[in-house]
Every structure is written in structure tokens, then in C-alpha cells.
Amino acid sequence: MDGHDREARDDPAAVARAALVREIGASGAFHADPVWREAFAAVPRHLFVPYYYVGVVGGYERRWGEHPDPRERERWLRGAYEDAPLATRLRDGELLSSSSQPSLMALMLAGLEVRDGQKVLEIGTGSGYNAALLAHRLGDDLVTTVDLDPEITESARRHLDAAGHRPAVVTGDGTRGVPARAPYDRIIATCALPSVPRAWLAQCRPGGRILAPFATGLVALTVRDAGHAEGRFLHTPAYFVPLRGAGRSWREQPDLEGLPPAARGSDLFRFLLALTAGALDPRRAYDLWEDAGRPQRERYGLTADAEGDRVWLDEPGGPHVWPVPAA
């Protein structure tokens, strides 16, 4: 047994982290860009979630790493390395911030298609874990992360420092980007958007890529210039905390009573409803969904330009195009 193996065996966090990396790998999340495997293996997630909340009957239970009971500390550490989202900040029972499911984070980072030497802006700092993964891959100087809540950014700075990373952590309105550190090659959001902020297009280099949760999916946009971006959705579903102040929740769904069970129980149909909210009623949406062969997420796309935001099926100039309602 070499020194590395002995260290891993003697360090419960290292053992748990290695198991998480294997689980993420088994999900296929590293296939598109295997470089992220090393980042997840190196960055200690538990440093970014010194406490978190898990749902129990009637509310939430707090787990934390400084609990006086060693069994509770072990349970906290074990939970920190599960492939699951962790609620990290609550206010009056409302979820404000979380650490996303690691396998989904890996899919998003791979979908960002980042390359060495590129500058990245992250919208939604959260615990700081995602920023640490980016900083490990690219270096601190190339990573900027922004969040509206000063308590979130301050705690993220502490977590990042504990993990040995110092990217730029900015407190501010993420919809405005961070112009002082622009231009960026990549922008990634970790909160669900009601529309594409035009400041992001202006701060992204032509040919750059924006990856963001939209409705209940992930859209990858290629930026042509400050006034135009377009792209398709990735295959995976995604449910994120809404961008604060957006004024609309993608989780709000119309009554599906009267539709066939195949539609009521289909995540893909609900995705279409979320994309076309206000443009198609459930009956018309169901007819389209059936006629189009129950399309997968990758067949949908989004265009953001001077005419507004529009979602579409198959082609941006095709027969199925719907305006995104104002937030």
C-alpha cells in the first residue's frame, strides 16, 4: 500500500470523496470531459457545507460538522458526500441557497465546454463549491463568482479560503454580470432564469458559451454578439432555486385534469408546459406533444435577441416558436 492509499484509508473525508467520484463516474457525467473527474477528486465538498439541512416530516433537520456527538458528525460527513443536493440556507422555511447534486454539477461543467485559459463568470455563488471546482481547473485568476446576498458571498469566501482557492467573489446583482472583470469566455448560472439577461451577452466574447437553468432544463447558448445568442437544451432535467426577484416560478403548473395519464405523469410534457407558459394551454400543448412524437429536451432551443426571448421546437425559424413571457 503506497502513501496515497494509506492517507485515503486514514481520512474518512477522502474515502467518502473517492466513493462520490466513483458514483459520479458511474452516472456518465465525466464522459464528455474527463478532466472534471480530477477536480471532483481534489476539492473537498465537506469544507463548503459545514452545516446543511435535510428534509424531515414537518420541516428540516440541521446537520453540522461541529456537533458534540461524534455519531452526528459522522452522519454530517457521510451526507456531505452523497450525490444529492444539500440545502444550505433557509429563511422562514424558504430555500434560499443550496449545494447542487454533484453529478448534475459535473454534467453542467462538462456542458460548459470550458478550455484551459478561458475566463468564467458564475452567477449564483452558493456554498462556493462550484467556484472551487472551476478554480481548480482554470486557476483562481480566471474565475469570478457573483451572488446578491452578502452573507452568502462572505461564507463562500471562507469556504474557498479553507480549500485553498481565492477566485474573485463579488456581491451584486447577477443579472448585471460583473462588467469590471469582463469579457468572459463562459458564463454559467446556478439559478433558474425567467429570461436571458442582456448584460451577459454584452460581457461574453463572440463565440462564447452561456449555460443556465431555464424552465426545468439546461440551455446552452452560443453568443454571436452583444445582441444575439442562441442554442439548444441539454438532455438532462434540472430544478434550481429561481433567480431572486425574477417574479415567476417554473414550478407553477396549470391544472392537468382531463389530460391522459401519459401526459400528467411525463416530465417531458411538463417541460413543454414550462417552456410555453402563457402561450399554449395544456390541451393544445398535449396535441403538439403527441404530434411531434413526445420530443426530448434536446429538440428544444432558445433565442435571445433584439426581438426578445423565444423558445422553439426543432428550428428557430420553424413553425413552433413561442415568446418567453416577461417576468
3-state DSSP of the chain: CCHHHHHHHHCHHHHHHHHHHHHHHHHCCCCCCCHHHHHHHHCCHHHHCCEEEEEECCEEEEEECCCCCHHHHHHHHHHHCCCCCEEEEEECCEEEEEECCHHHHHHHHHHHCCCCCCCEEEECCCCCHHHHHHHHHHCHHHEEEEECCHHHHHHHHHHHHHCCCCCEEEECCHHHCCHHHCCEEEEEECCEECCCCHHHHHHEEEEEEEEEEECCEEEEEEEEECCEEEEEECCCCCCCCECCCCCCCCCCCCCCCCCCHHHHCCHHHHHHHHHCCCCCCHHHHHHHHHHCCCCCHHHEEEEEECCEEEEEECCCCCCCEEECCCC
Catalytic machinery residues: 97
